[in-house]
A and B are shown apart, each in its own frame.
Chain A
Amino acid sequence: MPTYKLKYFKNRGLAEPSRLVFAAAGVEYEDIRFDREQWQSEKESSSEKYPFGQMPVLEVDGEVISESKAIARYLANEFGLAGKTNLDKAKVDMVVDALQDIAKGLVEMLFGKDEAQKAEAKEKCLTKTIPTIFSALEKMLTSNNGGDGFFVGDSLTLADLAFIAHTDYHVDQLKEAATLSAFPKLTALRERVLEQPNIKKWIEARPKTEL
């Protein structure tokens, strides 16, 4: 087994899907978390380890991979959580990319330039982006054996794990909007995946962070 080092901030954020992949696969890794100051000095002293000057990065036996989705997909492929055929892998990618479209709106909602922009972003998220994307995902899930299993194929994949990581923000930052309430299969999927022993164990053990 190679040695894995995952480096990110003291957040769930863009690293959490990869951490969930490690957890689901039961694979050990070094979960390195920097605060802002440590990151500044790390960026300067070890810039060759951060190809785009950003985190997360994954170090695998000396190789460096940057970009959160590339990392998550790599780990999923390594551990059999990526989907079995090219078509299944494409469906997993579709789910992950669609969730990211919502995430862009959430980031603007939380970190937008001014209050007006944040409010506009929230409105767009709640009235357009989330309903469109969640209804497409509900349909996609339902079309896979009635929707009582997983997004793709008949076992857990990165699609389900990315969904968990993403909906943590719905459950926290968008709590009063109850964004999942209109989507019974998605709601049940979240509960089902959270109950998987390896996932449950990780969620109980992981550092509790706001984001």
Chain B
Amino acid sequence: MPKYKLTYLVFRGRGEVIRLLFAAAGVEFEDVRVTLKDWPAMKETDPERKRFLFNQLPILEFDGHVLAQSHAIARYVANEFGFAGNTNLEKAKVDMIVSAVEDAYSPLVTNVWYEKDKARKEAWFTEFRETLLPKSLTALEKLLTANGGGDGFFVGDSVTFADIMFADRVDLLVFHSSPDVLDGYPKLKALKSRVEALPKIAEWIKKRPYAPDFEFH
């Protein structure tokens, strides 16, 4: 087994799904967390971008290799340890769900974290709560239900990258809409609980360091 070293910020953000995949696989990894304050200085230790290939985090280092781009890393870990789906078609369905969750969550980063104009932010929030989020959750609920009634997982009959991505990122979607938003999507709500109850994931969630994500806006 190679020695894996994941470097990301102190947040859950784009790194947490990778941490969760390692946890689910029962695979040890070095979990390096960098504060926003320390990140510029860290970038300067690598002027030739041999580690921080795209000047960004996360990166995964192992056996002399460096991988960047959060989804590329996550999918690598998922493929290595059996959380990617079993056939090419299953993998495609997993990827589809992962992309859809990303589409639902990433506008929060642009429109909340980085948006300085208060009026623009409020207008976007309204659109998010009234249109964008219901549209995403409805589609995801439908896809989950289509897989044998929706009381298992998104794809096939075991937990994949898709379920873990959803269970992790949905916290932010809930936080920015309302605490009971998932009541309208019972299969998704049950899936989240089911994923978080899986022993290795439950253990990770219990012991993981505090991450100040939700205070970041």
Taking A70-B92, A93-B71, A136-B49 as contacts, is the C-beta distance between A52 and B76 under 8 angstroms? no
Q: Is A73 an interface residue (CB 8 A)?
A: yes
Contact (Cβ within 8 A) A89 B67: no
Contact (Cβ within 8 A) B69 A133: no
Q: Report B90-116 CB contacts with A as 1/0, cut-off 8 Å.
A: 011101101110010000000000000
Residue of A nearest to B84 (CB): A86
A87 CB contacts on chain B under 8 angstroms: 65, 76
A133–B80 Cα gap in the complex (Å)?
A: 27
Q: Count of chain A residues with Cβ under 8 Å from any Cβ of B?
A: 31
A140–B68 Cα gap in the complex (Å)?
A: 12
In the assembled complex, the CB of A63 is this many whole angstroms from the nearest CB of chain B, namely 6
A89–B79 Cα gap in the complex (Å)?
A: 10
A110 CB contacts on chain B under 8 angstroms: none
Contact (Cβ within 8 A) A67 B75: no
Residue of A nearest to B100 (CB): A52
A136 CB contacts on chain B under 8 angstroms: 49, 53-55
A101–B92 Cα gap in the complex (Å)?
A: 21
Kindly count the residue-residue contacts between A and B in the assembled complex, taking CB atoms under 8 Å apart: 87
Residue of B nearest to A50 (CB): B139
A51 CB contacts on chain B under 8 angstroms: 96, 100, 139, 142-143
Which listed residue (B53, B73, B92, B98) contacts A140, Cβ 8 A? Answer: B53
Q: Report A79-106 CB contacts with B as 1/0, cut-off 8 Å.
A: 0000000110111011001100100000
Q: Is B72 an interface residue (CB 8 A)?
A: yes
Residue of A nearest to B50 (CB): A139
Q: Is A78 an interface residue (CB 8 A)?
A: yes
Contact (Cβ within 8 A) A132 B54: yes
Which residues of B113-153 have CB atoms within 8 Å of chain A's CB atoms?
Answer: 135-136, 139, 142-143
Contact (Cβ within 8 A) A74 B89: yes
B45 CB contacts on chain A under 8 angstroms: none
Contact (Cβ within 8 A) B139 A53: yes
Q: Is A11 an interface residue (CB 8 A)?
A: no
In the assembled complex, the CB of B45 is this many whole angstroms from the nearest CB of chain A, namely 17
B88 CB contacts on chain A under 8 angstroms: 74, 77-78
Question: Considering the complex of A and B, which 3 residue pairs feature the smallest CB-CB distances, nearest first?
Answer: A93-B72, A70-B95, A74-B92
Report 28 cross-chain contacts, Cβ distance below 8 Å, ordered by A residue: A51-B96, A52-B100, A53-B139, A60-B89, A65-B89, A66-B96, A66-B100, A67-B96, A70-B92, A70-B93, A70-B95, A70-B96, A71-B92, A73-B91, A73-B92, A73-B95, A74-B88, A74-B95, A86-B76, A90-B75, A93-B71, A98-B54, A98-B69, A132-B55, A133-B54, A135-B49, A136-B53, A136-B54
Q: A residues touching B (Cβ–Cβ < 8 Å)?
A: 51-53, 60, 63, 65-67, 69-71, 73-74, 77-78, 86-87, 89-91, 93-94, 97-98, 101, 132-133, 135-136, 139-140
